[in-house]
């Protein structure tokens, strides 16, 4: 099936991602509570949490290389198995070292699933559909991030903290396993194409030097860091201002719900503003709102700021995926997505550490000012990012730019012009769109 065809695979992928992400979002706080119950101090909890992000760093680029020259779908069940196993085994682990190990396995599984899923979306979406499809794909992550912590909070508590946190981890593992039910026929037959035609590997340095790739990585890192630090430090702000934990939970849920709403209306926003303007405006607004969280405002004003902030933060992740995919050299798009995820992981490690250092020196509101500065830098990068590679105008036609090669031969479908999935073959004279008589010749 050609890119841009039936999108049942995308719905199944969103459902699977929702269960996988929900399991991870449920397990991560449960791991911390169980570690504390086993006698861990704050430093040990930080190490266990850091292993989740650090261990997958070494696997990201090799997995991206493998996906560039093969199928995407096999990474999805592998990721689900590792997530489910890491969650369940963390629940029965009897030592902090074992918990750190299984936390790393969980992180590796999440990385496998996300690299395979993002590469699948890039490969099976027509260029003008990539922003929309990546936006819909990330709804699965937002739903998981919304439901997972609530489920963990419902199970963890009471006098037996070790037992209740262990139960939450086992339940999270079972929840991850449910993702298997949505992974059938998720990759189009022949979508991987003939990888013998892919040519030599593109060096990592060349990928990082491609215009648009570093900017997409920075925007993604900034948005993810803002989400993580907001989740970690808003309770601390609430403690200082006398806001109850229950109300803080509601505020964080409002932020997550606004992110989901943003991704549901991403297509009309792109049609109205275009990718460059949308990224620039949302990063700039998010920078101002992050800094505004540091102000001693009433709770209703804080709630309003978090709703708008959540909406703005919903733009960066899906659009940075499309930016990286369309800016990356041919035959290296999965590797470029893996590098983007590597940047995310580094941000998950470095941003909380920097936030803790800043908070210790200048107070709990200072990390939000730091985030505002980082997002302000990202808005400048977004403004300077190449707009020629933007996938489409509102009517689905591509703007002129560097990616104007034909996707394939034969369909006569104007949406296929510039399809990055197609083989790099010259267009026939008089045929502006090319043609395609063989699915097996499609390339990611």
Read off the pLDDT of residues 172-220 as tens digits, 9 standing for 90 and up.
999 999 999 988 877 766 555 444 344 567 777 778 777 878 888 888 8
Judge residue 253's burial from the number of C-beta atoms within 10 Å of its C-beta, 0-12 exposed, 13-18 middle, 19 or more buried: middle
| Alpha carbon 252 to chain centroid, angstroms | 18
Distance CA 231, CA 389 (A): 33
Beta bridge partners of 417: 406
Per-residue tokens: 34: 């169980």
Per-residue tokens: 182: 């949505």
**Residue in the block written with tokens 């107070």:** 363
∠ CA 385-344-140 to the nearest 5 degrees?
Answer: 95
Q: pLDDT band at 443, cuts 50/70/90?
A: very low
Contact 69, 196 (CB under 8 A): no
Contact 315, 282 (CB under 8 A): yes
Interval 245-275: pLDDT, tens: 678 778 888 888 898 898 888 889 988 888 8
Residue 352: the pLDDT is 66
Share of the chain above pLDDT 90, in %: 16
Distance CA 61, CA 59 (A): 6
Domains in the chain, CATH or no CATH each: 7-184 (1.20.1250.20), 205-399 (1.20.1250.20)
Mean model confidence pLDDT for the chain:
76
Contact 122, 323 (CB under 8 A): no
For the ranges 104-118, 147-161, 342-356, which has the lowest average pLDDT?
Answer: 342-356
For the ranges 24-38, 83-97, 422-436, which has the lowest average pLDDT?
Answer: 422-436
Q: Cα separations (Å) of 207 from 130, 204, 324, 354, 443?
A: 20, 5, 9, 28, 18
Residues 6 or more apart from 159 whose CB is under 8 A from it? none
Per-residue tokens: 83: 């997530």
Residue 88: the pLDDT is 93
Per-residue tokens: 189: 């037959």
pLDDT beyond 90 at 170: yes
- Picking from 426, 431, 388, the residue whose alpha carbon sits closest to that of residue 127 is 388
Contact 220, 320 (CB under 8 A): yes
**Average pLDDT, integer, range 214-230:** 84
pLDDT beyond 70 at 232: no
| Alpha carbon 21 to chain centroid, angstroms | 10
**Average pLDDT, integer, range 49-54:** 77
* φ/ψ (deg, to 5) at 406: -70, 145
Secondary structure of residue 379 in the 3-state scheme? helix
**Average pLDDT, integer, range 148-169:** 84
Per-residue tokens: 393: 């105008």
The sign of the CA dihedral 305, 155, 20, 181 is negative
Beta carbons within 10 angstroms of residue 430's beta carbon? 5
Interval 392-424: pLDDT, tens: 333 333 343 343 333 333 334 444 333 434 434
**DSSP letter (8 states) at residue 417:** B
Helices and strands counted in the chain (H then E): 15, 0
**Average pLDDT, integer, range 50-55:** 77
């Amino acid at each position: 099936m050609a890119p841009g065809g039936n999108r049942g695979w995308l719905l199944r992928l969103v459902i699977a991602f929702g269960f996988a992400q929900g399991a991870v979002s449920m397990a991560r706080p449960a791991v911390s509570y169980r570690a504390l119950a086993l006698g861990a101090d704050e430093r040990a909890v930080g190490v266990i949490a850091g292993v989740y992000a650090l261990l997958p760093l070494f696997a990201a680029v090799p997995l991206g290389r493998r996906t560039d020259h093969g199928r995407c779908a096999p990474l999805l069940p592998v990721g689900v198995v590792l997530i489910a196993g890491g969650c369940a085994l963390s629940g029965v682990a009897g030592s902090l070292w074992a918990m750190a190990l299984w936390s790393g396995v969980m992180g590796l599984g999440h990385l496998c699933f996300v690299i395979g899923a993002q590469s699948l979306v890039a490969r099976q979406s027509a260029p003008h559909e990539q922003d929309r499809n990546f936006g819909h794909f990330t709804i699965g992550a937002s739903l998981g991030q919304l439901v997972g912590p609530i489920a963990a909070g419902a199970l963890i508590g009471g006098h037996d903290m070790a037992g209740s946190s262990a139960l939450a981890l086992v339940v999270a593992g079972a929840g991850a396993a449910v993702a298997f039910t949505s992974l059938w026929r998720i990759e189009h037959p022949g979508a991987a194409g003939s990888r013998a035609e892919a040519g030599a590997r593109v060096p990592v340095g060349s990928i990082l030097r491609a215009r648009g790739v570093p900017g997409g990585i920075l925007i993604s890192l900034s948005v993810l860091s803002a989400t993580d630090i907001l989740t970690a430090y808003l309770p601390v702000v609430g403690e200082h201002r006398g806001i109850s934990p229950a109300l803080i939970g509601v505020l964080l849920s409002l932020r997550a719900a606004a992110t989901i709403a943003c991704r549901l209306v991403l297509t009309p926003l792109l049609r109205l503003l275009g990718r460059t303007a949308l990224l620039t405006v949302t990063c700039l607004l998010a920078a101002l709102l992050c800094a505004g969280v540091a102000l001693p405002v009433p709770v209703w004003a804080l709630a309003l700021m978090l709703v708008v902030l959540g909406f703005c933060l919903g733009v960066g992740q899906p659009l940075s995926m499309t930016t990286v995919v369309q800016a990356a050299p041919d035959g290296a798009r999965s590797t470029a997505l893996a590098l983007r995820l590597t940047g995310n992981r580094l941000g998950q490690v470095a941003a909380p550490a920097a936030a803790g250092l800043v908070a210790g020196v200048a107070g709990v509101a200072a990390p939000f000012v730091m985030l505002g500065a980082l997002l302000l830098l990202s808005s400048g990068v977004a403004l300077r990012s190449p707009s020629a590679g933007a996938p489409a105008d509102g009517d689905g036609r591509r703007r002129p730019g560097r990616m104007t090669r034909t996707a394939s031969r034969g369909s006569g479908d104007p949406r296929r012009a510039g399809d990055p999935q197609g083989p790099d073959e010259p267009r026939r004279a008089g045929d502006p769109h090319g043609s395609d008589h063989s699915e097996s010749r499609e390339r990611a």
